């Protein structure tokens, strides 16, 4: 089969399209014919080996997972003898980041526990946009932010892979959402449900008097004391991404603020969780969430796709079609 192989840490040019053996599923695995995958922040860590701490998980000298690709949507082609959940022909999707990666390939053999049935109203391309980005937003909003209907949520960086899901998921929980985006993204975030939009190229959201129950720092990087000022009395700030300083400040000053006051600050790392994919499948099939896709690249164009993603201006998700 054709697969993208990553033999050393480095730039997107280190990713090579190669011919490798099609895997054989073990007893608890299914063999999936991959139709689409996508790019996420985790893929960049696996590509570059940075931050260096990540090499404790991904391999000290070179990536221990030679075929990258975490998000996956495809069709079950064969099953191991102990597989109970799936049959040949099932349309599935999954986040393989805790199950050996391997989605940038024509086939992948993966533990059945990593997969769930794909949302029936999405194409494979759309389904591959969902796993990591949507569950990052879901885990931040529902599990860390514990958002409730009627609460006011500010999403800074609402136009990328995570942000476009975050707006729709917060709306699905009944929140009133304000999105902070650049001029070219104002119409897009309005189109999928933001109640209010602040164009950061034209105005500074910190100048508004409005305060929020939940602030999601998906991109950008204001100081933690600024976020503290923008939170309501029991408000919560969740760091997802953006400038590194934002993460370090959340871990240090944010922890201190959390200890001495009612406003809470935390950072978190998304974890692959098939239950969350079932939750997303339901939201998607109810029509409450729809993936926003910026552009698609073929398997041979994966290095080009990474170069585009690395620029950090994508409008929704960058997809790999296989
Ligand atoms: N904690 C976790 O587990 C976790 C998981 C996934 C991702 N992340 C992090 O979350 C962040 C977003 O990930 P992603 O996949 O959504 O990235 P992405 O798709 O590359 O996000 C890019 C989007 O952000 C916008 N943007 C860039 N700078 C901005 C700013 N200063 N203010 C507001 N918007 C800005 C860009 O549009 P403009 O340039 O036009 O503004 C673009 O639409 C990244 O930092 C990533 O590392 C964390």
Domains of the chain by residue range: 2-130+291-321, 132-267
Atom of ligand 1 nearest to the CA of 180: 33
Average pLDDT score over the chain: 97
Specify the pLDDT at position 221.
87
Residues 6+ apart with CB under 8 A from 296: 36, 125, 318, 319, 320, 321
Answer for the pair 102, 96: CB distance below 8 angstroms, yes or no: yes
Render pLDDT for 88-134 as a digit per residue (tens, 0 to 9): 999 999 999 999 999 999 999 999 999 999 999 999 999 999 999 99
Report the alpha-carbon distance of residue 102 to residue 108 in Å, rounded: 6
The H or E element that residue 12 is part of is: none
Render pLDDT for 20-45 as a digit per residue (tens, 0 to 9): 999 999 999 999 999 999 999 999 99
Task: For domain 2-130+291-321, give the CATH number.
Answer: 3.90.180.10
**What's the 132 CA to ligand 1 centre distance in angstroms?**
13
Share of the chain above pLDDT 70, in %: 100
**What's the 164 CA to ligand 1 centre distance in angstroms?**
10
**Nearest C-alpha to atom 32 of ligand 1 is from which residue?**
220
Angle at 33 between CA 134 and CA 110, to 5 degrees: 65
pTM of the model: 0.98
**What's the 39 CA to ligand 1 centre distance in angstroms?**
12
**Nearest C-alpha to atom 11 of ligand 1 is from which residue?**
241
SS3 content of the chain, % helix, strand, coil (to 5): 35, 30, 35
Specify the pLDDT at position 81.
98
Q: Which residues of the chain have pLDDT under 70?
A: none
Answer for the pair 218, 166: CB distance below 8 angstroms, yes or no: yes
Specify the pLDDT at position 228.
97
Specify the pLDDT at position 35.
98
Specify the pLDDT at position 29.
98
Specify the pLDDT at position 256.
97
Answer for the pair 231, 154: CB distance below 8 angstroms, yes or no: no
E strand intervals along the chain: 2-6, 15-19, 29-38, 71-79, 91-95, 107-111, 115-117, 152-156, 176-181, 196-199, 212-217, 231-239, 264-267, 293-298, 317-321
Q: Does ligand 1 lie within 6 Å of residue 41's CB atom?
A: yes
Report the alpha-carbon distance of residue 225 to residue 71 in Å, rounded: 35
Q: Does ligand 1 lie within 6 Å of residue 70's CB atom?
A: no
Specify the pLDDT at position 208.
87
Tell me the CATH architecture of domain 132-267. 3-Layer(aba) Sandwich (3.40)
Which residue, 38, 111, 37, 21, is CA-closest to 74?
Answer: 37
**DSSP letter assigned to residue 98:** G
């Amino acid at each position: 089969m054709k697969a993208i192989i990553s033999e050393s840490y480095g730039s997107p040019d280190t990713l090579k399209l190669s011919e490798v053996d099609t895997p054989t599923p073990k007893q608890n695995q299914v063999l999936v014919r991959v139709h689409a995958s996508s790019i996420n922040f985790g893929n960049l860590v696996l590509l570059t080996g940075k931050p260096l701490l990540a090499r404790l998980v991904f391999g000290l000298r070179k990536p221990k997972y030679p075929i990258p690709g975490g998000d996956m949507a495809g069709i079950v082609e064969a099953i191991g003898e102990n597989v109970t959940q799936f049959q040949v022909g099932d349309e599935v999707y999954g986040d393989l980041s805790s199950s050996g990666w391997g989605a940038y390939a024509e086939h992948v053999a993966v533990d059945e526990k990593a997969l769930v049935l794909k949302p029936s109203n999405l194409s494979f391309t759309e389904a591959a946009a969902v796993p990591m980005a949507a569950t990052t937003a879901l885990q931040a909003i529902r599990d860390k932010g514990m958002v409730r209907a009627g609460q006011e949520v500010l999403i800074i960086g609402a136009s990328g892979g995570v942000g476009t899901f975050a707006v729709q998921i917060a709306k699905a929980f009944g929140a009133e959402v304000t999105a902070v985006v650049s001029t070219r993204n104002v119409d897009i975030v309005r189109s999928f449900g933001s109640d209010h939009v602040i164009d950061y190229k034209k105005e500074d959201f910190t100048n508004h008097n409005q305060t929020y129950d939940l602030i999601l720092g998906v991109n950008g990087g204001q100081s933690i004391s600024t976020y503290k000022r923008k939170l309501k009395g029991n408000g919560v700030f969740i760091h997802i991404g953006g400038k590194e300083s934002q993460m370090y400040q959340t871990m240090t000053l944010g922890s201190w603020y959390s200890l001495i006051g009612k406003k809470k600050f935390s950072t978190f790392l998304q974890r692959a969780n098939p239950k969350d994919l079932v939750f997303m499948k339901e939201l998607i099939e109810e029509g409450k969430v729809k993936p926003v896709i910026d552009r698609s690249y073929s398997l041979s164009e994966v290095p080009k796709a990474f170069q585009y993603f690395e620029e950090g201006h994508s409008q929704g998700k960058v997809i790999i079609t296989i």
